[in-house]
Structure 1
């Protein structure tokens, strides 16, 4: 049985990184963009691919593969940027997450979600909200606020604006 605190929304946007399926709460997704490259910012971590211009707003783009310790790959026609709203200390920060491909929006029932696995004290899995199961395949439901932890958010805040600033130019 699922933990009632695990499932806040029933619709998720699923996407691929390497051969794994991940998903984020669809309510946190602003839009999905074709990846056309970024403007690199010197002296930033490798996982911060750079920034894009989204209707006049500067939006930082994080490579989730690198953030999760996966190997970098060549970008394909399916590579995309998922523009997300991240909650940070009461503010909403807009950032892009680079994904290998987007799959679908799916609805998960509470019975299809299990609590995040605990893998010991050395491995931090707090960014996993839960594990969904669909057609005998697991997908990791991400807590996007925790994925973009304090260090990542600090870098993002230096490179991009808040959601309010992005709304003014949209």
Structure 2
């Protein structure tokens, strides 16, 4: 059995400026330094042969950017796009380069600064889960903001996407 984590176990972190967004009722965040831009949703051009969460290519000023359904990538059920649906263009740091990647999310919430003192490590729930995708969590009035590690989310199994950047 794992001992509960305490504030003393957590390293001191710097404040983190993030873009927060919603997928269903859940709130996630990515560091703003990784966000190139936020686009209104447009249907990506399909490309066969990718993983189930790969939607195709999005035209970003004449460049084809691989685009994924972030819900599916995180194991959530897909939903139909709405007027609030957006594509966040991320610069994902990989071992050998930076990958431009579009991620479809339900809605953008805010650009904000999370105080480093409030960022907790990913919780240990005692069972295998995709905890390596989580860089930290912050409690807020409505629950938690989950800070995602996009390098781990897209750097591990998405070699197809990394090779498709045009």
Give me the TM-score of the superposition, normalised by structure 2: 0.89
1:139 deviates by 0.8
Q: Secondary structure at the match of 1:146?
A: helix
**Aligned pair 1:146/2:152, yes or no?**
yes
Cα RMSD over matched residues? 1.7
Partner Cα separation in structure 2 for residue 61 and residue 149 of structure 1:
14
Match of 1:85 in 2: 91
5 Å matches for 1:22-61?
A: 22-61=28-67
Q: Secondary structure at the match of 1:32?
A: strand
Match of 1:137 in 2: 143
Match of 2:24 in 1: 18
Give me the TM-score of the superposition, normalised by structure 1: 0.87
Partner Cα separation in structure 2 for residue 103 and residue 125 of structure 1:
23
Mind listing any 5+ residue stretches in structure 1 that lack a counterpart?
162-170
4+ residue runs over 4 A deviation: none
Partner Cα separation in structure 2 for residue 138 and residue 66 of structure 1:
20
